[in-house]
Amino acid sequence: MERIATPPSRLAALDSLRGIAILAVLVSHLSGTLGLGRIFNSAMIDLGRGGVTLFFILSGYLIFRNVQVQSVPTFFCRRFFKVMPSYWLNIGIILLADLTLPNGPHFPAGSYLAGVGAVSDVLGVEAVSGVFWTLLIEIKFYLFIAVQYALFKGRRSHLVLLTLIALEIAVWAIRGRGSLTLAYFPIFYLGIEMSLAEADNWRRPALLRL
């Protein structure tokens, strides 16, 4: 598969879209604090979910392009040092507040251990911060896409997407509720499909090659 460079102007446009996604999430959170939740988080308009969805699509597009031009170890190292130190620092700050403030959150040790391993959602353990849920999904996507690319390179992404959807349906059937990670993974793959279609000069979306 041909690898095409992303022009700086396009990267700037994508950064602008990411800024819009982040702003939408911030407005969603602030609206609840200011008592405006009915306006910005209604059945018709949900800025928070819309912002998260847009961010995941952009992440799928950009991360897939990154993994194509780096070795898997390099990709892992760059993602690790970009995300994990600040993530662990936040957990450390929460732990410090837990230990020093009389009215601290007082989470059990298991929550901190699961948080450090970024597996709170997998183990069903209470997370030390509710805002970590998107980051936990993002971390798993980094791992998953690196393994996928190591196995299949740029091929089979559409089949992997359909497999993930089938797995989510199976989880629903077995557990009576879905997996949040599996539910959001297809959104990343919308970005991947955009990247594949762009590499094909937009002649045909990758999903139509089945």
Q: What is the 3-state secondary structure (H, E, C) of 7-53?
A: CHHHHHHHHHHHHHHHHHHHHHHHHHHCCCHHHHECCCCEHHHHHHH
Output the CA–CA distances (angstroms, integers) from residue 84 to 66, 90, 101, 179, in the order listed: 18, 10, 25, 23
Q: Is 91 within a domain?
A: yes
Residue 106 pLDDT greater than 50, yes or no: yes
**Which pLDDT does position 103 carry in this prediction?**
79
Percent of the chain at pLDDT exceeding 70: 80
Q: Is 198 within a domain?
A: yes
Q: Is 89 within a domain?
A: yes
Q: How many whole angstroms from its chain centre is CA 115?
A: 16
Residue 55 pLDDT greater than 60, yes or no: yes
Percent of the chain at pLDDT exceeding 90: 19
| Identity at 205, one-letter amino acid code | P
- Please state whether the predicted TM-score (pTM) of the whole model is above 0.95: no
The domain in which residue 132 lies consists of: 8-209
The residue with tokens 């993602």 is 79
Q: Is 128 within a domain?
A: yes
Q: Is 196 within a domain?
A: yes
Residue 193 pLDDT greater than 80, yes or no: yes
Q: Which own/partner pairs from 94-100 qualify as long-range (CB within 8 Å, at least 24 positions apart)?
A: 94/128, 94/129, 95/128
Q: How many whole angstroms from its chain centre is CA 162?
A: 18
Residue 205 pLDDT greater than 60, yes or no: no
List the single range of 12-16, 150-154, 190-194 with lowest mean pLDDT. 12-16
Rg (CA), the chain: 19
Scanning 34-156, the segments in alpha helix (DSSP H) are 37-40, 47-68, 72-100, 109-116, 120-123, 133-152
Tokens at 4, concatenated: 């095409």
Three-class SS of residue 46? strand
Average pLDDT for the chain: 79
Which of 9 and 171 is assigned the larger pLDDT? 171
List the single range of 56-60, 107-111, 190-194 with lowest mean pLDDT. 190-194
Q: Is 182 within a domain?
A: yes
Tokens at 159, concatenated: 């089949």
Number of folded domains in the chain?
1
**Which pLDDT does position 44 carry in this prediction?**
46
Mean pLDDT of 137-152: 87
pLDDT category at 42 given cuts 50, 70, 90 is low
